[in-house]
Amino acid sequence: MSEFNYDLIVIGAGPGGYVSAIRASQLGMNVAVIEKDNPGGVCLNWGCIPSKSLISQAQKFTYLKDLENMGIKTDASGFNYESVYKKSRLAAAKLSKGVEFLLKKNKIELIKGAAKISGNNTITVDGDKQYTANKILIATGSRPRIIPGFEFDEAGVLSSTGALNLKTLPKSVAIIGAGAIGVEFAYIFNSFGVKVHLVEMLDSILPLEDKDASDILAKAFKKNSVKIYTSVKASISEKMSSGYKVKLEADGEPEFIDVEKILVAVGRTPNSDNLGLENLGIKTDRGFIETGDFYETSVPGIYAIGDVINTPLLAHVASKEGEIAVEHMAGKGHEKRVDPTLIPGAVYTEPQIAGFGYTEMKAHEAGFPVKVFSFPFRGAGKAVAVEESDGFVKLVCHEETHEILGAHIVGKEATELIHEILLARKSELLPEDIAAMIHAHPTLSEAVMEAARGIEEWAIHV
């Protein structure tokens, strides 16, 4: 018998924690997961999954217009947002149960309660029960960040969690922060007919994305009457009975808008407090736990992954980091850390945006000789046929070797299309390989092929 209760204890059952636990169990470890809430973490319960459920229903709602264009008389008067809400909760609940089942199937103990690390190998749950483990993995995730003046009450001033928990739609909303979460909610609300004001402090929506890509989304938003304010600082100037007066300050005269609710989506705060890290000397930086190779903290044997460390706040990043950490514990892995240029990012608005690696600008900044080709969706028969011709596939390549440095897709199904290029990049295939591969016609994937051909100077449909 080992001197510890478990080979590994994972704190948090989000996509970081539960995937790590299952991987560790596959590798022969005796594992427990401690979770204070529902299994699945933010992603399944208050993030990726319910938001995608709402987005899909929002999109269906917009089809009403398409049906009207066919002469069909529609009547939306019976529309009840609560049933939309319930569906999103059902999806979350189903998947959370699914995680519970997967843990059980892999003989992983799920311990309910809030964990605190009380020694190098000891964890205290809810202040009394103690468990010991040879290794500890911290996967406690993050929570919505509060900015002064916009403290959440989840009634008028909402976090993303509060927004996902709305059972009725407001008439109007100001969304502060136009990152992935902000624009996704802008799409949802706008599609259901809510007046949306999208406010961003930097100079464009999705400021970290490829500029051409975010421009297309901005255009689509404007067409659907989303008000976009960039390079603008927002503050609440007045709380009114019907909502808020929000002050928007740019260079010139401040502007005021009246909205029923405010959604604040300006980043996330890591859940590293109340974990007992200080007692062990585990270092943090602005709350993010610091880790080295294989995501080991400054205390050997204790690892941290996912939203609680300072890497892209994405579910698939959390899972991959967890896999690397536990494979290292099992003496199996060879990858030290996730290569940031191989992380796909996805935004599920319509049009969708997906990308990885260097944007054109970042590639130039990094000093690469760059060759870029952007193939417009309207050159792909399928996109025209299904009336989704806004978009493009853009490849950012090394000018001499044509190595794929990054790719950015906007348009229908962009979040699925990106993976062909990412696989190419990961396996060091070249644009010429994609260019030479037969793609079924008509598909949106043909746009990927054409972009690759463009790099090789022989795109056909331009």
Ligand X SMILES: Cc1cc2nc3c(=O)[nH]c(=O)nc-3n(C[C@H](O)[C@H](O)[C@H](O)COP(=O)(O)OP(=O)(O)OC[C@H]3O[C@@H](n4cnc5c(N)ncnc54)[C@H](O)[C@@H]3O)c2cc1C
Specify which residues 111 forms β-bridges with. Answer: 34
> What are the backbone angles phi and psi of residue 23, rounded to the nearest 5°?
-60, -40
- Contact segment (CB under 6 A) with ligand X among 14-22, 70-78, 150-158, 355-363 equals 14-22
Among 119, 401, 423, 441, binds another protein (CB under 8 A): 401
Q: Say whether the peptide bond before residue 39 is cis (omega within 30 degrees of 0).
A: no
Radius of gyration of the chain (CA): 24
Helix 315-329 and helix 15-26: axis angle, to 10°?
A: 30
d(CA 244, CA 228): 18
> Measured from the CB of residue 232, what is the shortest distance to ligand X in angstroms?
22
> Measured from the CB of residue 164, what is the shortest distance to ligand X in angstroms?
6
434 binds, among another protein, ligand X, none (CB under 5 to 8 A by kind): none
> Measured from the CB of residue 318, what is the shortest distance to ligand X in angstroms?
4
Does residue number 11 form part of the binding site for ligand X (CB under 6 A)? yes
Site string for another protein, 418-457 (x = CB under 8 A): ---------xxxx-xx-----------------------x
Site string for ligand X, 154-183 (x = CB under 6 A): ------x--------------------x--
What is the SS3 assignment for 365?
A: helix
**Closest residue to ligand X using C-beta atoms:** 141
Among 6, 9, 10, 14, binds ligand X (CB under 6 A): 14
114 binds, among another protein, ligand X, none (CB under 5 to 8 A by kind): ligand X
User: Could you give the C-alpha distances from 336 to 44, 129, 352, 358, in angstroms and in order?
Assistant: 27, 34, 31, 21
36 binds, among another protein, ligand X, none (CB under 5 to 8 A by kind): ligand X
> Measured from the CB of residue 461, what is the shortest distance to ligand X in angstroms?
31
Residue that the structure tokens 């190595």 belong to: 403
> Measured from the CB of residue 303, what is the shortest distance to another protein in angstroms?
24
Name the CA dihedral angle for 16, 21, 26, 32, rounded to a multiple of 10 degrees: 180
Extract the tokens encoding 120.
């190098």
User: Could you give the C-alpha distances from 394 to 211, 451, 455, in angstroms and in order?
Assistant: 11, 7, 10
> Measured from the CB of residue 435, what is the shortest distance to another protein in angstroms?
10
403 binds, among another protein, ligand X, none (CB under 5 to 8 A by kind): another protein
Extract the tokens encoding 158.
């909402």
Extract the tokens encoding 427.
């396996």
The DSSP annotation for 94-110 comes to: HHHHHHHHHHHHTT-EE
Site string for ligand X, 403-442 (x = CB under 6 A): ----------------------------------------
- The residues in 217-276 that bind ligand X, with binding defined as CB under 6 A, are 271, 275
Of 402 and 461, nearer to another protein (C-beta) is 402
> Measured from the CB of residue 403, what is the shortest distance to another protein in angstroms?
5
Catalytic residue among 364, 398, 419, 441: 441
User: H or E stretch including 264?
Assistant: strand 261-264
User: Could you give the C-alpha distances from 205 to 27, 48, 307, 354, 416, in angstroms and in order?
Assistant: 43, 20, 22, 14, 22
Specify which residues 158 forms β-bridges with. Answer: 263
- The residues in 103-122 that bind ligand X, with binding defined as CB under 6 A, are 114-115
Does residue number 320 form part of the binding site for ligand X (CB under 6 A)? no
**Is-catalytic flag, 441?**
yes
> Measured from the CB of residue 276, what is the shortest distance to ligand X in angstroms?
9
89 contact partners, CB below 8 Å, separation of at least 6: 50
Strands (E), 114-210: 115-119, 122-125, 129-138, 142-144, 157-158, 172-176, 195-199
11 binds, among ligand X, another protein, none (CB under 5 to 8 A by kind): ligand X
Does residue number 12 form part of the binding site for ligand X (CB under 6 A)? yes
Among 35, 360, 388, 420, binds ligand X (CB under 6 A): 35
> What are the backbone angles phi and psi of residue 143, rounded to the nearest 5°?
-135, 165
Burial 233-272 (b: 16+ CB within 10 A, else e): ebebeeeeeebbebbbeeeeeeeebbbbbbbbbbebbbbb
Binding site for another protein (CB under 8 A): 400-403, 427-430, 432-433, 457-458
Would you name the residues annotated as active-site residues?
A: 441
Binding site for ligand X (CB under 6 A): 11-17, 34-37, 41-43, 47-48, 51, 114-115, 139-142, 160, 181, 271, 275, 306-307, 313-316, 318
